[in-house]
Amino acid sequence: MRLYNTMSGGKEEFTPQNGNAVNMYVCGITAYDLCHIGHARSSVVFDVLVRYLRHKGYDVTFIRNFTDIDDKIIKRAAETDMDPAALAAKFIDEFYVDMDRLNVLRADVEPKCTEHIAEMIDLTGRLIEKGHAYAALNGDVYFRVRSFEGYGKLSGRKIEELESGARIAPGEQKEDPLDFALWKAAKPGEPSWDSPWGPGRPGWHLECSAMSEKYAPLPLDIHGGGQDLSFPHHENEIAQSEAATGKPFARYWVHNGFVQINSEKMSKSLGNFFTIRDILAQFHPETLRYFLLTMHYRSPLDFSFDALEEAEKGLKRVYAALRQMDEELTRSKWSKTELPAELSAELEKIESEWTRSMEDDLNTAGAMGQLFNAVRLSGRIVDDKALRKSEGAKALWQRIRSDVAEWAKVFGVFEREPAAFLDELKTSRAARKGIDPAKVEALMAARLEAKKAKNFEESDRIRDELAALGVEVKDTPQGPVWDA
C-alpha cells in the first residue's frame, strides 16, 4: 500500500516499523461546540484508513485525543456561564452522538488533555533541561523555535519567511516572536494545575506530543489530521517531540483536504457553516458518510445540499441492486446454464481494481467506482432472460454480495439490510420534502380500492394527486409501491 506522506511530498510504500503492528495517532476535537462537516470528513477518512489497515491484517492501535482545556473552551464556558470541564464533557458526549450516527468506530485509546497534565509537565521539563525551552518571569514556558534545526520541515516553511510579520503580543515574555507556548501561566478565574513554574495549564501543541509518546513507541507509524493542522500544530509537535527525545516523531504524515461550501471556504461569518446536526436533520447519516468517500481524501471537498441529493441517489441505486440480488437468490430452481467466461473475468478485474484503488493512497473514490461496476454487472445479468435463472448467475450474484459485504466493512456504508434501509431512506426523503407518509399510505390504499373496483378514472386522479405531492408510484408484481 502507498500513502501520501506530507513530510516527503509524495506517495511512499507503507511499511510498519514493527512487523504487523501499526500505531496511528490522529488529532481529535477541541470540545467547545458541536462538530461540523470538516470534523465529519476527517473522522470518516481516518476511520476508513483504520478499517482498511485492519482489513489487510494489520494490528492497529488507533489513538485519537480530546482537547478538553483550551482558550476556546474557557471563552465559551464564560459566555454560557458553565464550568469549563462540564462544557468540554458535554461536547465530548455530543461528539460521540454524531460519530455513532456516522458509523465511525471508537478509537482504541482516547486520551483527554486534563488527564495527562503530569506527562506534559515532564515533557516541558525535559525541553528546558536540553535548552529547547525556557520559563519566563510570569510563569509562561516557551519553546525556542530557533533551537530546533528542522523547524518547518513538514510544512516547507522557512524561518526567514516566518520572521516576516511575527510579533510579540502585549503581555508575552518571549525571547523571540517565533517561540510558542508550552505552558501558560494561570489567569484569574481560569482552570489551572500546579507546576514547577507556577500554576497554569498546557499549551495546545504540547498535549499531542505528550499523549502520543505515552501510548505508542516513537516514531509513530502514522500521524494524521486535517490539512489545516500541518502548520503550526503538527510542525510544533514535531519540534517538541524530536527535541525532547532525539527520535523522529512520525514516519508517515497523512492529512485530509479542506471542505468548501458551494466552492467557498466554510465560515460562520459567510453564513455557510454547517454542523453535522444541520445536515442530518435533512439527510440520512449514511448518505453523508457515503458522500464524504466519493472524493479522494486529499482533494478539496465541495459540499452542497445538491451534491448530497446526488449522493443519496447513488446510495439508493446500490441498495436497490443489493435488494434485487437478494430477491433473485431466493429462487429455488436454477438451470444448468453457465455464464460466459468473460463475465467472471469482468468481476475478477473489478475485484482487483477495487484493491488497487485502495492500495493507491486510500482512493475511496476509485474503489466506490468499482463497487458500482459490480452492481452494473449484476444488473446486466438480471436483464438477460437466458442467464437470469442459471446456476452461473446464482454463483456470480453470491460472489458480488460477498465482495460488497467485505468492501462495506471497509467503507462503513452498504452494511445494512437493503429492504429496511431503503424504507429508512424513503422516510428521510419524505420528511425533507414535507411529505406525510400516513397521507400517502391512505391515498395508496384508496387508489388500490379504486383499481379493484375498476374505477380507473378515480385511480388516475389519485395517482395525479400523489404526483403533485412529489410521490412516485410504481405498480409491481408484489403490488403498488411508492417513493419520494
Give the span between the Cα atoms of 133 and 333, in whole angstroms. 77
User: Which whole number is the average pLDDT over 44-53?
Assistant: 98
Tell me the per-residue pLDDT of 185-241, one tens digit each, with 9 for 90 and over.
Answer: 999 999 999 999 999 999 999 999 999 999 999 999 999 999 999 999 999 999 999
Tell me the per-residue pLDDT of 314-331, one tens digit each, with 9 for 90 and over.
Answer: 999 999 999 999 999 999
Supply the pLDDT for residue 476.
Answer: 81
Cell 519567511, residue? 161
Q: 3 in helix, strand or coil?
A: strand
Q: Which domains does the chain have, with CATH numbers?
A: 16-276 (3.40.50.620), 312-420 (1.20.120), 433-483 (no CATH)
Please, are residues 237 and 209 in contact by the beta-carbon 8 Å criterion? yes
DSSP assignments along 199-256, one per residue: SEEE-HHHHHHHHHHHHSPSSEEEEEEEGGGIIIIIHHHHHHHHHHHSS-SEEEEEEE
Residue type, 53: L
- 271-292 burial, b at 16+ Cβ within 10 Å, e below that, comes to eeebbbeebbebbbbbbbbbbb
Please, are residues 279 and 301 in contact by the beta-carbon 8 Å criterion? no
Residue type, 391: E
Please, are residues 147 and 132 in contact by the beta-carbon 8 Å criterion? yes
Supply the pLDDT for residue 484.
Answer: 87
Helix (H) or strand (E) holding 394, with range, is helix 391-411
Q: How far is CA 401 from the centre of its chain?
A: 25
Predicted confidence band at 249 (pLDDT cuts at 50, 70, 90)?
very high
Interhelix angle 364-382/391-411, nearest 10 degrees: 160
Tell me the per-residue pLDDT of 145-197, one tens digit each, with 9 for 90 and over.
Answer: 999 999 999 999 999 888 877 788 877 899 999 999 999 999 999 999 999 99
Supply the pLDDT for residue 376.
Answer: 97
* C-alpha cell, 417: 439490510
Give the span between the Cα atoms of 207 and 202, in whole angstroms. 7
Supply the pLDDT for residue 263.
Answer: 79
Supply the pLDDT for residue 45.
Answer: 98
Q: Answer yes or no: is pLDDT of 479 > 80.
A: yes
pLDDT higher at 472 or 6: 6
